[in-house]
Amino acid sequence: MSKVTLNVNGITLEGNTGDSLLEQLESAGLQPEYQCRNGVCGACRCRLGSGKVSQKDSLAYTAKMRFLPAKAVHLPTWSWSLIIH
């Protein structure tokens, strides 16, 4: 599994390409907001500062440069940053 570097709210974390971004944020000790963990409610919505993520099918609305960490993984060839609330 590829290792990647995540920049979250200015904090650099180590991540991987397999787990959802929500799981990785929690593993890193952050406490991002969530409810359904399944792409339905939109509670985990974050802003992508740079880079690109792979957003899996979800029902909640996402605008440009927004995504749902519960249903997203990042791509190994991109470095990126995100802003969580």
Regarding 51 and contact with ligand FES (CB under 6 A), the answer is no
- State the DSSP code for 51: S
Q: Which stretch binds ligand FES (CB under 6 A): 9-17, 23-31, 41-49, 73-81?
A: 41-49
Query: 38 vs 77, which CB is nearer to ligand FES?
Result: 38
Token pair 């957003």 is found at 55
What CA–CA distance (Å, rounded) separates 53 from 84? 15
Q: What is the DSSP string of 6-25?
A: EEETTEEEEEESSS-HHHHH
The verdict on 84 binding ligand FES (CB under 6 A) reads no
Using CB under 6 A as the binding rule, whether residue 25 contacts ligand FES is answered as no
Q: Which residues would be at the binding site for ligand FES (CB under 6 A)?
A: 34-37, 39-44, 60, 68, 70
